[in-house]
Amino acid sequence: MKLIVAFIRPSHAEPVVRALEQAGLYHLSLSRVHGVVQPDAPVVRADMGAEGELEVRLEAYCEDARFEQAVELIRETGHIGSLPSGALFVHPVDHAWIVSQAVTGEG
C-alpha cells in the first residue's frame, strides 16, 4: 500500500478529487495549509494568521499496483500551465488498521 501526499492549488482540488474518484480511488482526505516552505522564502507558521498562499494537502491511499496511475492523475489534473505547481510525495505504508472499539471477553 502507498500513501500519496500532494500539495495543490485550491482551485484544482475538486478536479483532482473527481479524477481520482472516476478512476476508482476513494481513500482520500483534504486539508488546507498555508503554503509550503520554499528556499529563500519566509517561513509561514500557524500563528501568522492568513499570511502566505493557501494550498490544499491531499492524502490518498492506494494499492501498490495503482499508485503510478494516481500520481499521473494528480500531476495532469493539478498542473497549472507552465508554472511549477505544488509538490507530490509517495510513501510506503507498512501497516494499516481499521480504528474500532476494542471488544473484550470480560464484562
**CATH code at 14?**
3.30.70.120
* Counted domains in the chain: 1
Residue 12 maps to a domain: yes
Confidence band for 74, pLDDT divided at 50, 70 and 90: very high
- Give the domain range for residue 36: 2-92
CA neighbours within 13 Å on the CB side: how many for 55? Answer: 18
DSSP classification of residue 105: S
Number of H helices, E strands in the chain: 2, 4
Residue 62 maps to a domain: yes
Residue 49 maps to a domain: yes
Single-letter residue type at 92: P
Residue 53 maps to a domain: yes
Confidence (pLDDT) at 87: 84
- Render 38-79 in DSSP notation, one character per residue: -TTSPPP-GGGTT-S-EEEEEEEEE-GGGHHHHHHHHHHHH-
19-55 confidence digits (pLDDT tens): 999 999 988 999 988 655 566 665 555 555 455 567 8
